[in-house]
Structure 1
Amino acid sequence: MDFKFRTSCKHKSDEELMVLFARGKEKAFNEIYKRYSAKLFLFFYQKLYQDKDYAEDFLQNLFLKIIEKAHLFDTGKSFSSWIYTIAYNMCKNEYRKKVDVKEISLDIEELKHNLTFPSNLSNETDLTLFKKKLGIELNKLDEKHNLTFTLRYLDNLSIKEISEVMDCSEGTVKSRLFYTTKKLSKKLKNFKAIKI
């Protein structure tokens, strides 16, 4: 029976798992943790000064919040939007506490799976140079544009989910993505255009 329940958890949506967890099914929470812990660790690591210990602390606190507030989750909405909204708000609160916020950078290694790189990158050296330059240019962007780009192309959130996380309209999200990709394309013109 226990094995059957564990197996069935893997096939349930995030929203269904949250309903089960709110009813006391711990295995449902374990499945949620498996699905989101690595992605959200990377999210915190990128946004919080590339400090591993910091990211782990924030990840633990995030999942404690999920445990404590499971009953507040609206099953008619997207779980991924909900969890990223909480994570984003945790980062915003942290930024407010810090007077001197360090540069926020993006793990470019992770981006290679989510971007279509220029076709003229003939070898590994070209690709490495491209990723390095992309990372430098992303770090020059303000937090909102950097984060919008990260949520879309690294965390694979939809436009709608990003608008919920960042509490802005879908049009604003599209505008930020357009602005960011246009700017990156100009800065990376030596590599031709990036297709996003």
Structure 2
Amino acid sequence: MALFHQNFSKKTDEELMSLLTRGGQSAFDELYCRYSKPLLNFFFRMTNNDREKAEDMLHDLFLKIIEHPESFDCTRTFSTWFYTLAGNMIKNEYRNRSARQEFEQQYQYNPAETKQEADTIDRQLFNNRLQAELNQLDPESELLFNMRFTEEMSVKQIAGILDCPEGTVKSRLFYLTRQLAKKLAIYKPELN
């Protein structure tokens, strides 16, 4: 029986998808092992740390793949195609939300006894303000920001996922970061 055993860990993602279209359950298992954890983290961050929602989205995405493996676009790399599906699910989630979460946490400033405590408070205020600004972005801009700065994807990867030229991604990132820098200028006095 070992004669027919295949080592799936050495196969490319694209080869595994080809096997999956022919009914290879073990190929699916290998893809799940490779991508479930990073994708769960991606969904977790993109759903504002809602673990249950992230797990549901992960389940739904892998269910789509196992039910319709023939939908794989063999002109693209698997990871680009896969993250495109994930990005589309996030966009749909944003569209279906009835209301955005609002910035509710308020800080009462008490003079800090040490510079380190003051820096910690400033960092918390900045992070909360940044999150509030991100929550006000349109879904595509928020997705772009998270892919580049949270997921640390390259411009090339983002362009592949969004199916647009790299120049477009660079331009959108430039205007997005400039917009955020203006809104957060209070945290860097030399920008005022």
TM-score for both structures, normalised by structure 2: 0.70
Separation (CA, whole Å) in 2 of partners of 1:160 and 1:30: 28
Separation (CA, whole Å) in 2 of partners of 1:17 and 1:103: 43
Separation (CA, whole Å) in 2 of partners of 1:59 and 1:83: 11
Q: CA deviation at 1:97?
A: 2.2
**1:114-167 Cα distance to aligned partner (Å, 9 max, x none):** xxxxxxxxx9x9699658735642541323333213213433434233224334
Superposition RMSD in Å: 3.6
Instruction: Tell me what 1:96 maps to.
Output: 95
**1:57-115 Cα distance to aligned partner (Å, 9 max, x none):** 111011000112211212231111211121122222222222213269xxxxxxxxxxx
Q: Is the 8 A contact 2:159 2:169 kept in 1?
A: yes
Separation (CA, whole Å) in 2 of partners of 1:100 and 1:51: 15
Instruction: Tell me what 1:116 maps to.
Output: none
Structure 1 segments unaligned to the other structure (5+ residues): 105-122
**Larger RCO: 1 or 2 (CA < 8 Å, sep 6+):** 1
When residues 138 and 97 of structure 1 are mapped into structure 2, their CA distance, relative to the original with a 3 A threshold, is closer
Q: CA deviation at 1:3?
A: 9.4
Instruction: Tell me what 1:76 maps to.
Output: 75
Separation (CA, whole Å) in 2 of partners of 1:99 and 1:84: 25
Q: Residue type of the partner of 1:69?
A: H
Structure 2 segments unaligned to the other structure (5+ residues): 104-115
Instruction: Tell me what 1:63 maps to.
Output: 62
Separation (CA, whole Å) in 1 of partners of 2:16 and 2:78: 10
Q: Residue type of the partner of 1:144?
A: E
Instruction: Tell me what 2:24 maps to.
Output: 25
Q: How does 1:1-196 map to 2 (within 5 A)?
A: 1=2, 5=6, 8-102=7-101, 130=123, 133-134=126-127, 136-141=129-134, 142=137, 143-182=139-178, 187=184, 190=188
When residues 135 and 48 of structure 1 are mapped into structure 2, their CA distance, relative to the original with a 3 A threshold, is same
When residues 144 and 3 of structure 1 are mapped into structure 2, their CA distance, relative to the original with a 3 A threshold, is same
